[in-house]
Amino acid sequence: MTTHSIPRLLLVIFGLLAFASAAQAQMDAGFIGKRYAGLGFFTENVDSSNMDNGNGVEVFANVPVLDWLDAGFRASSERFSAFKYTDRRIGGYVTAYTDLEWAKPFVEFSVTETNQSSIYNNVKYRNRESLWATSLGMEVPVTRSSALFGSASYTEYFNSSYDSAWIYKLGLNTWITPKLGAVIGVSFYES
């Protein structure tokens, strides 16, 4: 993320907050503790490599299991033009949380399978690995239908020859209608 994109991101978040606060629907803020399924699109900039931006699609679902526990899955496919690199992932997670009046602090544990392939100098490379992650975060309602969220995650491949990483996320999730939600966020990777 460049320093020029930060003001744009803040403007988008402010606009979503203004839109969400003007909405008249009576909805609970936040996604934690809710049953939902979705489809998302994303782009990723890998500053520390010779690769271009990656573009991807993601499907996901979340189901409340208990009053304090959610379970779900995520699957994604991302493509980078450089080296014809593709990264496909599928995984599951459990999220334990407590519902305070002003926030929902949570801890999450996930396991993901990744299948990566690339072509370089007409040679095809493939790699398949599993990784785990644990996250600590909080979701804070800001309007009747929107909540800010933040988390810090530690992730590591089961194959110890790969580096571990910290991932920091900040964002806003909002219910546009009782059945349609949206998320905007930013992630920072540190390995």
Tell me the CATH number at 30: 2.40.160.20
* pTM of the complete model: 0.77
DSSP-based three-state secondary structure for 95? strand
pLDDT in tens, 106-140: 999 999 999 988 888 888 888 889 999 999 999 99
- Tell me how far apart the 2 most distant CA atoms of the chain are, in Å: 57
Task: Please compute, for residue 141, the number of CA atoms within 13 A of its CA located in the half-sphere on the CB side.
Answer: 17
Q: What is the pLDDT of residue 2?
A: 46
Domain total of the chain = 1
Q: What CA–CA distance (Å, rounded) separates 61 from 131?
A: 20
E strands in the chain: 36-44, 54-66, 69-80, 85-97, 104-120, 123-141, 146-157, 165-177, 180-190
- Which domain does 16 fall in, by range? 5-190
Pairing of strands 69-80, 123-141: unpaired
Q: Chain-wide mean pLDDT for the chain?
A: 83
